[in-house]
Structure formats: C-alpha cells, structure tokens
C-alpha cells in the first residue's frame, strides 16, 4: 500500500491500536525487536476468510496485538482475552491453578527463546 493509504488507515484510530488503545507512531510500521509504538495493518475480515485488501477492511494494530490475533476471529480473540483475565486473577490470588499457570508460562517462554535461537543459527 502507498503512503497515503497507510495514513488513511492510521488516522482511523487517531494513532492508536484498535485492539488495546496504546499509542502507535506512523513512521514505526512493521516488526521490531522492541515493538513499542510499532504497528501493522490488521485486516478486520481476514483475507483468507474473504476480506478485501482495501483500506476499508484495515485498521491499525500495534505489533503485539496484531501478532496475538494471527488468524483468530473476533469470537476466538474474545475467548482468548477472557481466559487471560481468568488466568491473571488466578495468578494474582496465588491459587494452585495460578501457580501452575506461571510454570506453563515460563515453559512457553523458554521454548520461544529456544526456537528463536535455532532460527538465528540456521538462517543464512
């Protein structure tokens, strides 16, 4: 998309992620190791589900939110968020389930670091 179309998408939310509301910077498009203020176009109706490539079907999303959404529909994303709210409460309350969730989170993050390390080693 050209600069004018990207600007159209950006101003729809006055420079904020349409998911979380965090501020984004127009110049900071795409992925970054430290994605604060970076954004990507979110196709409201995913292209593989019949959504168009036009700016009418796009909203700005911070990189973190957009990468969490991936292929999920609105309902699937809402379910993920609800489960996250429940998990955070369990952790905050110090329940047994909360302690197990902390362990699962650590294991997941460790696997992600290992996967990224392997990718860097094998990428020419």
Nearest to 108, CA basis, from 93, 87, 92: 87
Token pair for 120: 């860097």
Token pair for 102: 């902390």
Mean pLDDT of the 17-29 span? 94
Instruction: Name the residue with higher pLDDT: 116 or 38.
Output: 38
DSSP SS3 for 96: helix
Return the pLDDT at 70.
Answer: 78
pTM of structure = 0.66
Reduced 3-state DSSP string for 10-64: HHCCCCECCCCCCECCCCCECCCCCCCCCEEEEECCCHHHCCCCCHHHEEEEEHH
Return the pLDDT at 17.
Answer: 94
């Amino acid at each position: 998309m050209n600069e004018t179309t990207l600007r159209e998408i950006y101003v729809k939310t006055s420079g904020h992620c349409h998911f979380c509301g965090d501020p984004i910077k127009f110049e900071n498009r795409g992925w970054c190791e430290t994605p604060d203020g970076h954004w990507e176009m979110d196709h409201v109706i995913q292209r593989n589900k019949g959504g168009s490539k036009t700016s009418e079907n796009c909203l700005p999303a911070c990189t973190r939110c957009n990468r969490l959404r991936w292929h999920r529909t609105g309902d699937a994303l809402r379910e993920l968020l609800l489960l996250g709210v429940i998990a955070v409460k369990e952790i905050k309350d110090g329940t047994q389930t909360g302690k197990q969730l902390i362990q699962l989170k650590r294991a997941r993050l460790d696997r992600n670091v290992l996967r990224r390390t392997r990718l860097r080693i094998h990428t020419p």
